[in-house]
Amino acid sequence: MTPEDQEETQPLLRPPGGSVPRGRRVFLAAFAAALGPLSFGFALGYSSPAIPSLRRAAPPAPRLSDAAASWFGAIVTLGAAAGGVLGGWLLDRAGRKLSLLICTVPFVAGFAVITAAQEVWMLLGGRLLTGLACGVASLVAPVYISEIAYPEVRGLLGSCVQLMVVSGILLAYLAGRILEWRWLAVLGCVPPSFMLLLMCCMPETPRFLLTQHKRQEALAAVHFLWGAEQDWEEPPVGAEHQQGFQLAQLRRPGIYKPFAIGTFLMVFQQLSGINAVMFYAETIFEEAKFKDSSLASVIVGAIQVLFTAAAALVMDRAGRRLLLALSGFAVGWGPIPWLLMSEIFPLHAKGVATGVCVLTNWLMAFLVTKEFSSLMEVLRPYGAFWLASAFCVSSVVFTWFCVPETKGKTLEQITAHFEGR
């Protein structure tokens, strides 16, 4: 083993003795990355106020039929599925920071196309582009945040990903009460533009820099994020990190166990039916004869933000498994699958594994959102929601028997758990 290899197989990226570092720039970096989830939350929530607005739009603006409205809501998930694949590829090749910077381009371009739309196909094309950006952001932002955070705050910062998603949805609902669909799309360009500016000033994650044999840059990033007043140890970065992920590694419990857990978490999250409710909230309340369906949607969004914020505050105390088993969506099944996805995969498999998880999530989201109306017609509304309830019960059973607790553990300790070490 060369001296360089020995340098890169040191124990853990954490303060010696388990003391909590005093640096606070890690919170600023996490906020900058979380503007990506804010942007993707806005893109998800955009369809709820935009569909009624487009249905009453006067020529030459495009008007949506029922079939076109269904595609307008659901096509973003197809773009996001493709974005999950792209994000997994970018994660290991371009790095975490550059991947976040790249995803700002389809965010802004997609909303710009929607703003200029004169035909329905332009609306759908813009939604597809924003969906592509959503897929990349939903994969890369949790990974970036988990790799810059120290264990004591990783749950808090990781939960902020979902908090920013629901905040973006709420922002779209609130702005939709006063803005028509074009100006609402203009507003959608603002969060990714701010992310572009802030992320330019943030460092790459130390773990990724070490895989690129940039030890000095990694140490500088640690000092920037956690504070320069302490000495820092490094995570193990051995030969397998240089070789990348190989299919033969699926035989190892350190790969196939977290891979199965991450995939099933994403499936159960979507089978709860949450995205169908959030995409079509205003339409659902209109059909339920609410006097102010827009206000009802805002209340739903506000409740999501409130309880997701509560989850972020208790995540590092209560733990992941307890919240998954006992809570409702905003406290448990909203933030935790994304957080666990960023925690449980070893470094060399993270790009491929998280890409598959995100692809699974968005394909299931497309299936649920596209067929939601048909399911309500076949099973009646109460039958559709009872079916979602059955999946929620199944998810609790899965959590109790299959999902390990990751609270307070380093990423390396989590990997060692799956490998039986």
Domain 24-215+251-418, second-level architecture: Up-down Bundle (1.20)
Contact 188, 39 (CB under 8 A): yes
Predicted TM-score (pTM) of this structure: 0.81
H or E segment at 214?
Answer: none
DSSP characters over 260-318: HHHHHHHHHHHHTTHHHHHHTHHHHHHHTT-S-HHHHHHHHHHHHHHHHHHHHHHHHHH
pLDDT at residue 232 in the model? 55
pLDDT at residue 4 in the model? 39
pLDDT at residue 12 in the model? 41
Give Cβ neighbours of residue 250 (< 8 Å, ≥ 6 apart).
Answer: 256, 259
Q: Give the C-alpha distances (Å, rounded to integers) separating 66 from 45, 55, 60, 63, 143.
A: 18, 9, 19, 10, 38
Q: Give the C-alpha distances (Å, rounded to integers) separating 2 from 6, 208, 218.
A: 6, 20, 20
Report the C-alpha gap between 5 and 40 in whole angstroms.
39
Strand partners, 236: 9
Average pLDDT of adjacent 10-residue blocks, the chain of 421 residues = 39 43 77 94 90 81 80 87 90 92 96 92 94 93 90 84 91 92 94 95 91 88 74 56 64 87 93 78 75 82 89 84 86 88 84 88 84 79 85 92 88 84 69
pLDDT at residue 279 in the model? 66
Contact 163, 305 (CB under 8 A): yes
pLDDT at residue 419 in the model? 82
Burial class (CB in 10 A: 0-12, 13-18, 19+), 247: exposed
CB-facing half-sphere around the CA of 89: CA atoms within 13 A? 9
Q: What is the largest CA-CA distance in the chain?
A: 72
pLDDT at residue 262 in the model? 93
pLDDT at residue 374 in the model? 79
pLDDT at residue 230 in the model? 46
Q: Where are the domains of the chain?
A: 24-215+251-418
